[in-house]
Every structure is written in C-alpha cells, then in structure tokens.
Chains A and B, each alone.
Chain A
Amino acid sequence: MVIDHDDANDVLQNTFVKVWNGLENFREQSQLYTWLYRVATNECLTFLEQLNRRRSDSFDNVEHALANKLSSGKDFTGDQIEMKLQQAILALPEKQRIVFNLRYYDEMPYEEMSKVLDTSVGALKASYHHAAKKIEAFVLNR
C-alpha cells in the first residue's frame, strides 16, 4: 500500500506499538489476526492521509508520488508485468486498492475481510470486481 520500505516500516512499527499499548483493551470478540489487520489497515490509511496533507501544497498527488517511488525500483524485485500490475493497483481508488491487495496477495476470504474493513461481503465483492476490471483494462491498454 505504501510502496516504500521505510514507510512500510514506520506503519508496521506504529501498528505494533498501538497493539502493544491496546492489548489490555482487546476484547477477544474477533481473532487477534483480524484485529492486527484492522489496526494495520487503519495505520496505513492514516499514514497516506498524513502524506496527502503534507503534499497539499504540491501539484503532485500521493498516488503520483507512490508511482515515482515504485518506478525508482529501490525495493521492487518483480518483473515488468508485476511492475505494470503495481502501477495499475496504484491507479485504483484507496478502498479498491486495499480490497484487491487483501484478496489477491494476502488471499483473505471475504468474510474475514468484512470484519477487518467493517464492510459487507457484497460491497467487498463489488469493489474487487471493479478493481480487477480496471486493472485488466490498465494492463492491456498501456
């Protein structure tokens, strides 16, 4: 989601710090795995929002900045098709990007994803459908 390894490290550290400090409040209504994903997703979105706010005086948007990081190839080991797939994923709206990443890379079932993102299964399926269609069009047309 954040492309850059240093940014991913920051998000991960914040996630674990929050989990550590909030462990007492964990009500065990959901699995620890689901809770961890939820905290990590929220941290990730907060990080991107902060990044967007910091860049509000710039003509570039966050997605463009992330695409630049991706093309710099610092932490990227994939081939050309994977690069194109990542570029297509970056072009998606934020929510669709999360849903596609959780489904395609993390192979998360919709029921689990529904608990992590607090969204209905139907809405998640629709998001994934739109995301896959957009990615297909992006990859084949460019």
Chain B
Amino acid sequence: MTPQDDIREELKAIAPRLNNLMERKPTNPFNAPQGYFDLLPQETLSNVKRLNNLVGSLNDETHAATNPFAVPVDYFDALPNDMLDLVKAQPKVVALWPNRWKDWLSIAAAVAAIVLAGVPLLKQNNAVTRQPVAVLRNVSNDELYNYLSEDVGTIRVDEIAAGLPDAKLDTLERAMVAVHTAAYNDAEFDVSQVDIDDIESL
C-alpha cells in the first residue's frame, strides 16, 4: 500500500461521505501563468541580487557617514549660550501646599456675619411665637370677636397654645370648644358664649 493509499483510507475512515465526493486523486485546482516556473529561478536570483545591493549600499561608507538631516546655520555655535540662558532663568516656585490664609479668613468672616445677623432674628421669631399672651393682650376685644366669628374653621388651638402653661391651656380650650360646638351645630355663633375674661386672662 502506497502512502497515497494510506491517506485515502484515512480520509475514508474519518469522513466517508467527503471521500465519496472526492473520488479522484487530489489535484491542485490553482493555476500559475504559463512559463512561471521556467522564469522562477532567474527572477528569484535577481531579487536576491537586488536585495543584496540595497543592503550593501546602506552599509557603504559614503552612505553611512552622511547625515541626511540639515540644521540651521550656526545652530551649534549658539547652543551653549541658549542653554545657559535657560539655566539662569529662575523658575517659578509653586508650593505643594499653598498658604491660603486669606481665603480662610474670608470664609470665617462670612460665617461670622451670618451667625451675628441670624441670632437676633431667631430670638425675635422665638419671642413672637413663644409669647402669645403678650400678643393677645394687644388685641382689642372687637378684633377678637370678629376673628372668632369669621375664622371659626381655621382657628388652631395648638398655634395659640404654643408656650402657654398648662393652667392657661384649660381656659383657652374651654373657649375654643364653645366656638367649635356652635360651628358644628350650624348654629349662629353667639359670641356671648365665650368667656372673654378667660381669654383676656391669658
């Protein structure tokens, strides 16, 4: 059995259907131009010569010694002085951790101004909300009657009672219950049901 037969048998064992398709002996299906192989040795040798000549010319002393790049006239004469000028110029020192005390001072001043302006406003606001008794004393009885008559649904005991002692809260609560009861019963609100003395005593 020849090596070719071995190869055919091997292919038959691995891929029998492929082997059936390729019944005939494998042939190279690619063609080369006519006379290509006759000219090949000559062409190859001429390529080798061309390459060798190229390499030889690059190694040639005349080529190796010539620098193909030009420099401006007197460049190398001026170079030492140019370099010394560069060395003499003091570079700007940039601190790794710059001292920014001015920035920090500005920030501190701004914070202090906000605090100083904010504290009196805060105190004033607290004084208004925490002293309803003083506010109520400045309200006339007529204004109080009108307020209770018109704003029955919107009166909030907790707002008025904020900051009042427990004893005063009972009084306020009695007055408000009377107002709300009248509103719930859809009865005409009778201001006389409110004990104004109780409210005034707040």
Tell me whether A and B are bound partners.
yes
Asked if A133 is an interface residue, CB under 8 A from chain B, the answer is yes
Contacts of A135 in B (CB 8 A): 15, 18
How would you classify the secondary structure of chain B's contact residues: helix, strand, loop or mixed? helix
Please measure, in the bound complex, the distance between the C-alpha atom of A109 and the C-alpha atom of B30, giving whole angstroms.
Answer: 23
> Please, which residues of chain A bring their CB within 8 A of the CB of B35?
none
A75→B14 contact, CB < 8 A = no
> CA–CA, A105 to B29, complex, Å?
10
Chain A residues 1-18 with CB under 8 Å of chain B are: 3, 5, 8-9, 12-13, 16-17
Size category, B interface: 20 to 34
Q: Which residues of B10-41 are within 8 A (CB) of A?
A: 10-11, 14-15, 17-18, 21-22, 26-33, 36, 40
Q: How would you classify the secondary structure of chain A's contact residues: helix, strand, loop or mixed?
A: helix
Partner of B7, one of A16, A82, A107: A107
Q: Please determine whether A109 and B3 come into contact, CB atoms closer than 8 angstroms.
A: yes
Q: Enumerate chain A residues within 8 angstroms of B106, measured Cβ to Cβ.
A: none
A81 touches B21 (CB 8 A): yes
B155 within 8 Å of A (CB atoms) = no
Q: Which of B3, B4, B29 contacts A78 (CB 8 A)?
A: B29
How many residues of chain A are within 8 Å of chain B by beta carbon? Answer: 32
Q: Which residue of A lies closest to B44 (CB)?
A: A16
Which 3 residue pairs across A and B have the least CB separation, nearest first? Answer: A78-B29, A136-B15, A136-B18
Residues of B within 8 A of A (CB): 3-4, 7, 10-11, 14-15, 17-18, 21-22, 26-33, 36, 40, 43-44, 47-48, 51
